[in-house]
Amino acid sequence: MSDTLTLDVIGRRVEVNGEHATVRFAGVVPPVAGPWLGVEWDNPERGKHDGSHEGTVYFKCRHPTGGSFIRPKKVNFGIDFLTAVKNRYVLEDELEEDGKEQIVTIGNKPVETIGFDSIMKQQSQLSKLQEVSLRNCAVSCAGEKGGVAEACPNIRNVDLSKNLLSSWDEVIHIADQLRHLEVLNLSENKLKFPSGSAPLTGTFSALKVLVLNRTGITWAEVLRCAAECPGLEELYLESNEIFISERPTDVLQTIKLLDLSSNQLIDENQLFLIAHLPRLEQLILSDIGISSIHFPDAGIGCKTSMFPSLRYLVVNDNQISQWSFFNELDKLPSLRALSCLRNPLTKDDKDTQTTRQLIIAKIGQLKTLNKCEILPEERWGAELDYRRAFGNEWKKAGGHQDLDKNRLSEEFLMAHPRYQFLCLKYGAPEDGELKRQPLMLKNQLLTLKIKYPHQLDQKVLEKQLPGSMTIQKVKGLLSRLLKVPVSDLLLSYESPEKPGREIELENDLKSLQFYSVENGDCLLVRW
């Protein structure tokens, strides 16, 4: 840009040597002659001051070192959308060859043309585009009115992340020319959003996915923008310091996936404001600092009316340290998948398998935990272990072999709301069972019998193996013992508690604990 300043630069997004900033001031800064731009950097470590110079405040910054004064000629104000598309998607080598002089006949006259085929090929290339990635291409505006619609009318998916767009209005000018637009990523654009209700234009009538990570959007602005997207199904709002201030009414009613990750101001009371979105199936709450949740409308053993369609919940990187959190999740009627990695309760690597078993036992309808499928055999083992592990506590709290005579304390029921159901499913724990240490109170050796169904002449062995031993290592041990190649060995096991039911140990990377192998069980070895 030249050193001549115009009045409309305030608020514009700019790029200087790869760093992004917002123009906050334009004018003279005495005693140095000539025009200056005062900018607030996205990265405050890039700046030198807070917008002041020699005691005079020219503009204000959120950070004491977020500002700088820069000559206009050093600033890049960006390019229009269509230019960026051409820069990235038009094949220049082919166009240069097509740009040679040619003779065509129009009527009866021969006419020299330069670049005629080039223009046709360029138009053909652009009109076929359906997915466009313009990340970090310095896009700042729509450009000439109607130009985008004429050149590339079939675009459905646009990535405009980390560009120089400064307002939601400029986004509308682009999207208004893309009538088939279904996916729009605007992450890392510091946008000025509308401050009041705007008339609905139908610009985003086809939009299904909107990504607004790190844009500085507020919850009120989210709701205003969502009103323009009647068919929106996925909304990503990561790292915006969002505070959910009001319940969505008449907006976000079609949303299926909502990502609120890394918005540290959100607490469980705010989540109740979005708890009645009718179609919400996936909710991502990673790194929001949440430690507890409680559904006050549902008592012990009951289901909540909140989040009626929620099937997948992500709460990674939070502060969950109490088992009551998972007791509450059992109240969600549709929950089938959960990811809860890197929380205080799940961080201890030595107890990873124990933690997994407890979560499975506490949430009855769960099918997938931390992206790993819960097999029927794993659920069976986890629930039996849970029933046995807390059996003595159950008895002390008023548990009875005759379940009709149970008089369990409120404290026990709150800590173990599914225990009564497990007693109905598997029977009340007997005294003999309670003397056996369950796997979830582990780090012990398992005493196992080893049989060979196809080699009846082989003597039945008894071995002590650690519960954490993988199936691969068990096969290695048996291979050395039997002089049989590891690749030929097939393992399964039987439990005296389930006579006649054989469970295959088919995943070599899983442990004996994963398959709920217990003391006294029998390994079956075939080759």
Catalogue all structural domains in the chain, each as residue range(s) with its CATH number. Answer: 7-74 (2.30.30.190), 79-92+113-376 (3.80.10.10), 387-433 (no CATH), 445-526 (3.10.20.90)
Query: Tens of pLDDT along 197-246?
Result: 766 678 999 999 999 999 999 999 999 999 999 999 999 999 999 999 99
Residue 226: CB atoms within 10 A of its CB come to: 20
Task: Over range 464-490, report the average pLDDT.
Answer: 89
Query: Tens of pLDDT along 395-428?
Result: 999 998 888 888 899 999 999 999 999 999 999 9
> Quick check: 99 pLDDT over 60?
no
**Per-residue pLDDT, 116:** 41
pLDDT band at 272 (very low <50, low <70, confident <90, very high): very high
Question: What average pLDDT is seen over the chain?
Answer: 88
Are the CB atoms for 369 and 353 separated by under 8 Å?
no
Poorest-confidence range of 175-189, 196-210, 370-384, 385-399?
A: 196-210
Q: Classify residue 424 as exposed, middle or buried by CB count within 10 Å of its CB (0-12, 13-18, 19+).
A: exposed
**Per-residue pLDDT, 432:** 73
Query: CA-CA distances (angstroms) from residue 518 to 57, 70, 441, 467, 496?
Result: 74, 72, 12, 8, 10
**Per-residue pLDDT, 106:** 42
Poorest-confidence range of 265-279, 318-332, 425-439, 477-491?
A: 425-439
> Quick check: 524 pLDDT over 90?
yes
Residue 455, CB-side half-sphere exposure with 13 Å CA sphere: 14
Task: Over range 157-162, report the average pLDDT.
Answer: 97
Query: Tens of pLDDT along 310-358?
Result: 999 999 999 999 999 999 999 999 999 999 999 998 876 557 888 999 9
pLDDT band at 53 (very low <50, low <70, confident <90, very high): very high
pLDDT band at 92 (very low <50, low <70, confident <90, very high): low
**Per-residue pLDDT, 511:** 84
Poorest-confidence range of 16-25, 102-111, 117-126, 181-190?
A: 102-111
**Per-residue pLDDT, 376:** 92
Poorest-confidence range of 59-63, 120-124, 430-434?
A: 120-124
**Per-residue pLDDT, 458:** 82
Pairwise CA distance, residues 313 & 309, whole Å: 11
**Per-residue pLDDT, 199:** 66
pTM check: above 0.95: no
Q: Which of 467 and 359 is assigned the larger pLDDT? A: 359
User: Which residues are paired to 53 by β-bridges?
Assistant: 56
Query: Amino acid identity of 450?
Result: I
pLDDT band at 253 (very low <50, low <70, confident <90, very high): very high
Give the end-to-end CA distance of the chain in Å, rounded to a whole number.
77
Residue 129: CB atoms within 10 A of its CB come to: 18
Are the CB atoms for 513 and 439 separated by under 8 Å?
yes
Query: Tens of pLDDT along 281-304?
Result: 999 999 999 999 999 999 999 999
**Per-residue pLDDT, 515:** 83
